[in-house]
Amino acid sequence: MIYRLNSTIKYTVVVFSVFFFFFILTSGGVIFFHVMRNIIIARSAKESVRFAENKRLHLESRLNREIELTVRLAESPLVRHFFLDPDDPVIRPLGVEEILAYGKAFSSGVVSWACDADGRYYEGGAHLTTYDPDDAYHQWYPAVRDQKESFSLNIYYDRFAAEGWYLHINAPVREHGSEGAKGIGVVSNRIALTVFLSFLYGVDCAPPPEGELYLFNSGGEITAARDSALITGAAEKPLLSGRFAEAGGKIASEIQRLAPDSPFSFVDDNTQYTVIPIASLNWHMVVVRPVAFFLILGDSVTIVFAAMMGVVFLVFVVFNSYIFMLAKPIIILTGIMDTIFSITPNLLAVVDEKNRVIYMGKAMREMTDFYKTEKCEGKAILDLFNNEDMRAMLSEAIQQRGYFETIHKAKIGDKRQFFKVMANDIDSNFRGKFLLLTNVTATMMYGLTDPLTGLANRWNFDQYLTDEWKRAIRDRLPLSFLMMDLDMFKCYNDAYGHPQGDQMLKMVAGVIARAAKRPADLAVRMGGEEFGLLLPNTKQSGALEIAEHIRREVEKTRVPLAGGEGATYITISVGVACMIPTLQTKADALVSASDRRLYEAKEQGRNRVCPQSRY
């Protein structure tokens, strides 16, 4: 037994230590990973911003000159006069010459224009088409002409001249009148899409190690990507939300929420998105790159963390050895206690200040509902018992301070048992209690039964009636009682003597006891030749059947009666009462009602059952 308990305690300490170590390891690992993850994300964001800034500066350096030339052309007074009257023979050659001169300064060497006055679209001086407001392809013209910005960047397919995809730098030409500036035409500088993409991705458009780079405008339309098919292969302009799903929507919402010149970064599904504005172009740039969390393993900080966990493990090993050394006397003492109390029928338990079991003897463990499946130690003692009577006596004991002693009755299975309950504090600080329950049923039963008949005595009946009355109130159930009295028993006693009378009482008690078929039914000798039968959860109809059965069984005995005022044999009269108890009525009302019915049965001629008129 000591060896087994010693092994159990050692096993408990080891399991607790291992669990605690892995808890520290797991929680520390989670915190460490979270911190390192944030460090890697911040580091990756800085690299992405640095990469994007370099690309932005390079792109702006290539486009700003083209934009400035296009805007200056649109603001030229000569061009403005030419757009107001393109058929003027004096102004026209000068205006065309001015436009073509700017076109030669463009990197592509190509300039195009259109004006409201004649509605024609020119490229390099050649007339290509005439503006048609019903042609969807021509809708770019009024959109650019009426915009408030001095320029706009648009990528679309040019079907008139070179038939290809181009980045168009468009600038509106405005007339400044009394009603303010009004758009009268558009000048345009185009750059081949392949040339434009080479500004960002190089000639071969190889994927950069820093991540994928995309440009998009304020409407969320992607304007540049390493894979040009993303832009040229779709019937409609690709959107961020279509390319990056939820992440694209978040980028669009963050741009609306933050200041126009504020870069930001976030991680979605192990992918980092870093966005920086290109204010001069009214565009934004996003760098998309996977977050390499596996780099945590190779970081020097990870090695330091692993070394720290190794030191913690060694501390736990030393701790366990020290605990085993300190606990050895306690283990031996506990083993001796377990040996002693495993052979005693008394129910012993020790609980702490929170009423959790520290120790429980074998006899009490076997009465719990968890004995065969779980250990009792460490659990709240009241949670170990489903029996309400056991819980009530233990609850009363653990609530007391100092020494406490009382006697409780409990229904264990189908039997009523009596326990002497003793409790005392472990120390003066009330840090726990000793609980000792001794089964005193055999001793108590001598004072609970009638010595002659073996039925419950009146004191036992009063206690039992009180309990059942409370239970019936709680469950709203009927409670019936039969009050019975042997007819003309005094004549029988006088005629045959008291010994024969006692035998008669035993015989009738046996009939009544056999009628109490359920464990909750209680047969009682009320006194002399008067008996009772308490029937919990029994309606009046059921009580009448039992009463009539008892009357017939007594009548069947055919015991002669001498001097019985006309009666030939011993008979019995029964008064029946049934109630559904309430808080406003007392238990003795049931006994009084049945006693009145018994009196009526006697008055009506004896050997009969008299029921209650209503209940």
**Does one domain contain both 238 and 348?**
no
The region of weakest confidence among 434-448, 473-487, 529-543 is 434-448
Using the predicted structure, report yes or no on whether residue 298 has a pLDDT greater than 90.
no
**Does one domain contain both 73 and 120?**
yes
What integer pLDDT is reported at residue 296 of this predicted model?
59
273 domain residue, yes or no: no
**Does one domain contain both 239 and 382?**
no
Using the predicted structure, report yes or no on whether residue 26 has a pLDDT greater than 70.
yes
Residue where a domain stops, chosen among 411, 444, 477: 444
Alpha carbon of 24 to those of 28, 29, 30, 312, 318: distances in Å? 6, 8, 10, 9, 16
DSSP state of 346: S
- Which residues on adjacent β-strands are paired with residue 206? none
Dihedral pair phi/psi, residue 446, rounded to 5°: -60, -30
Q: What is the CATH number of the domain that holds 458?
A: 3.30.70.270
Count Cα atoms within 13 angstroms, Cβ side, for 72.
Answer: 12
- Model confidence band, residue 9 (pLDDT cutoffs 50, 70, 90): low
190 domain residue, yes or no: yes
Domain limits at 569?
A: 450-610
User: What is the spatial distance between Cα 389 and Cα 474, in angstroms, rounded to a whole number?
Assistant: 15
What integer pLDDT is reported at residue 5 of this predicted model?
44
**Does one domain contain both 388 and 478?**
no
pLDDT > 90 in the chain, percent = 23
Which residue shows structure tokens 């056991």?
Answer: 390
Domain count, the chain: 3
Structure tokens given for 238: 């690709």
Q: H or E segment at 182?
A: strand 180-192
**Does one domain contain both 438 and 470?**
no
Nearest to 502 by CA among 491, 514, 493, 513: 493
600 domain residue, yes or no: yes
Pairwise pLDDT comparison (354 vs 113), residue with the higher score: 113
**Does one domain contain both 543 and 435?**
no
User: What is the spatial distance between Cα 47 and Cα 45, in angstroms, rounded to a whole number?
Assistant: 5
Q: What is the pLDDT of residues 48-66, one digit of tens each?
A: 788 878 877 877 777 888 8
What integer pLDDT is reported at residue 328 of this predicted model?
63
Which of 29-33, 233-237, 299-303, 448-452 tops mean pLDDT? 448-452
Using the predicted structure, report yes or no on whether residue 477 has a pLDDT greater than 80.
yes
Are 193 and 165 in contact by the 8 Å Cβ rule? The answer is yes
Q: What is the CATH number of the domain that holds 414?
A: 3.30.450.20
Which of 176-185, 387-396, 510-519 tops mean pLDDT? 510-519
What's the per-residue H, E or C state across 116-159? CCCCEEEECCEEEEECCCCCHHHHHHHHHHCCCCCCEEEEEEEC
Structure tokens given for 406: 């009382």
170 domain residue, yes or no: yes
Structure tokens given for 404: 């406490």
Structure tokens given for 145: 């002409």
Dihedral pair phi/psi, residue 261, rounded to 5°: -105, 20
Q: H or E segment at 433?
A: strand 432-439
Determine the average pLDDT of the residues in 298-327: 70
276 domain residue, yes or no: no
**Does one domain contain both 485 and 562?**
yes
Residue where a domain stops, chosen among 388, 414, 444: 444
Determine the average pLDDT of the residues in 108-116: 88
What does the radius of gyration of the chain's CA atoms come to, in whole angstroms? 52
Residue where a domain stops, chosen among 264, 294, 318: 264
Q: What is the pLDDT of residues 224-282, one digit of tens each?
A: 777 767 666 655 677 877 778 888 788 877 777 766 667 888 888 778 888 888 877 77
The region of weakest confidence among 109-123, 286-300, 376-390, 573-587 is 286-300
Nearest to 249 by CA among 230, 268, 233: 268
32 domain residue, yes or no: no
Determine the average pLDDT of the residues in 121-131: 85
State the amino acid at position 239 in one-letter form: L
Are 183 and 171 in contact by the 8 Å Cβ rule? The answer is no
Taking all residues of the chain, what is their mean pLDDT, rounded to a whole number? Answer: 81
What integer pLDDT is reported at residue 599 of this predicted model?
95
What integer pLDDT is reported at residue 2 of this predicted model?
39
**Does one domain contain both 229 and 85?**
yes
- Model confidence band, residue 1 (pLDDT cutoffs 50, 70, 90): very low
What integer pLDDT is reported at residue 276 of this predicted model?
83
**Does one domain contain both 438 and 457?**
no
Determine the average pLDDT of the residues in 585-591: 92
**Does one domain contain both 104 and 233?**
yes
Pairwise pLDDT comparison (568 vs 207), residue with the higher score: 568
What integer pLDDT is reported at residue 359 of this predicted model?
77
Using the predicted structure, report yes or no on whether residue 176 has a pLDDT greater than 80.
yes
**Does one domain contain both 429 and 476?**
no
Structure tokens given for 432: 């726990």
Determine the average pLDDT of the residues in 350-366: 80
Determine the average pLDDT of the residues in 155-176: 77
472 domain residue, yes or no: yes
**Does one domain contain both 245 and 218?**
yes
What integer pLDDT is reported at residue 565 of this predicted model?
60
What integer pLDDT is reported at residue 4 of this predicted model?
43
Using the predicted structure, report yes or no on whether residue 193 has a pLDDT greater than 70.
yes
What integer pLDDT is reported at residue 611 of this predicted model?
92
Using the predicted structure, report yes or no on whether residue 341 has a pLDDT greater than 60.
no
278 exposure class (CB count in 10 Å sphere: 0-12, 13-18, 19+): buried
Which of 114-123, 227-236, 441-450 tops mean pLDDT? 114-123
What integer pLDDT is reported at residue 51 of this predicted model?
80
pLDDT > 70 in the chain, percent = 82
Using the predicted structure, report yes or no on whether residue 430 has a pLDDT greater than 70.
no
159 domain residue, yes or no: yes
Using the predicted structure, report yes or no on whether residue 534 has a pLDDT greater than 60.
yes
